Amino acid sequence: MQADLQNIVEPLLKWYQKNKRELPWRKDKDSYHVWISEIMLQQTRIEAVKSYYHRFMKELPTVKSLANIDEEELLKLWEGLGYYSRARNLKKAATVVMQQYDGKMPTTYQDLIKMPGIGEYTAGAIASICFNEKVTAVDGNVLRVISRVVGSTKDVLLPETKKEIEKDLKEIMPEQSGDFNEALMELGELVCLPNGGPECEKCPLQKNCVAYEKNLTQEIPVRIKKVKRKQEEKTVFLLMTESYKIAIEKRMEKGLLSGMYQLPNGKGYYKEEEMKELLTNWNLKVKQISFLTEAKHVFTHIDWYMKCYLVMVEQENSRFLWVSQEELKEKYPLPTAFQKCMKIGK
């Protein structure tokens, strides 16, 4: 495999220099900038990340500012990106940098991977892009590109497949390790596409690609699906007073969306009488209940199916935190799942 892969290095680097996108975190090779961008880009597409990245850097331009920010403010800043443990780990890692590395990001793969929230891929990306260490950074894009190039039918979801590709890439890693890793990722993002199929006519590796030669680009990479995802039904309540104050509550400190705020809700779909009974148990005097919308939200291992209701109430009570729509927008981190039920005032 190595002999075949060696032939991809030169054409790939030439293609990257000509075709790489201008991205805000590529303007310099500052390790803080690359770190934040790589964490944001996990599970999120580049175009969606740009605005979050700019906002984040405006508010938290340094590792020190990240280490010192209040967690709730950080979660608000992260709102909409999801996977909120990523944001918490950023703060934990920044604290480690301040305490153990004198405020400067670690410069080696071995030190980076010890940091909270930094795994093999992110450590490899930072170490190669910022410090030119000859280490791999293998994500889904890279797995797809290399599997097609070598014509591999091994399941890319298996850790051993990833390990094998990392080993083979390390053996051909050029001095320009950061550019090489980014080139592979960029090719997967722009040309060697999933689902609808790659744009092989634009690919610099077409002559080296077994999948193209054997017309297997639709079959490769091989992904053997795991067990069926869990599904959960919910009834979500947008409780509102006549002065347009909205009820929210803080979720538990452990588990899904831990420590975030939520709209009051219950498991399962409630009938009208069940809703009235629940609202009475919450010590609320209800004026009107109106159906708002149905919404679905996809997490890593579970899907939520929500029916959302607007409930007008006579007055606030002590069970919930009552906030204005402006306060909710500016101060309290509300996960995207619950924002899908916020149809009022938009």
102 SS3 class:
coil
Q: What is the dihedral of CA 313, 319, 321, 323, to 10 degrees?
A: 10
Note if 133 is an active site residue.
no
Both ends of the chain: CA-CA distance in Å? 56
For residues 268 and 314, is the Cβ–Cβ distance under 8 A? no
Tell me which residue of 89, 84, 141, 79 sits closest to 119, measured CA to CA.
89
How far apart, in Å, are the Cα atoms of 244 and each of 282, 315, 325?
19, 10, 7
For residues 297 and 337, is the Cβ–Cβ distance under 8 A? yes
For residues 241 and 275, is the Cβ–Cβ distance under 8 A? no
148 DSSP assignment: H
Instruction: Quote the CA–CA distance of 326 and 145 in Å, as a whole number.
Output: 46
Which residues are paired to 239 by β-bridges? Answer: 311
How many CB atoms neighbour CB 152 within 10 A? 20
Instruction: Quote the CA–CA distance of 73 and 62 in Å, as a whole number.
Output: 16
192 SS3 class:
coil
For residues 239 and 247, is the Cβ–Cβ distance under 8 A? yes
Alpha helices in 101-176 (DSSP H): 109-112, 120-131, 140-150, 159-172
Q: Which two tokens stand for residue 331?
A: 């101060």
In the set 10, 38, 71, 175, the catalytic residue is 38
The catalytic residue positions are 38
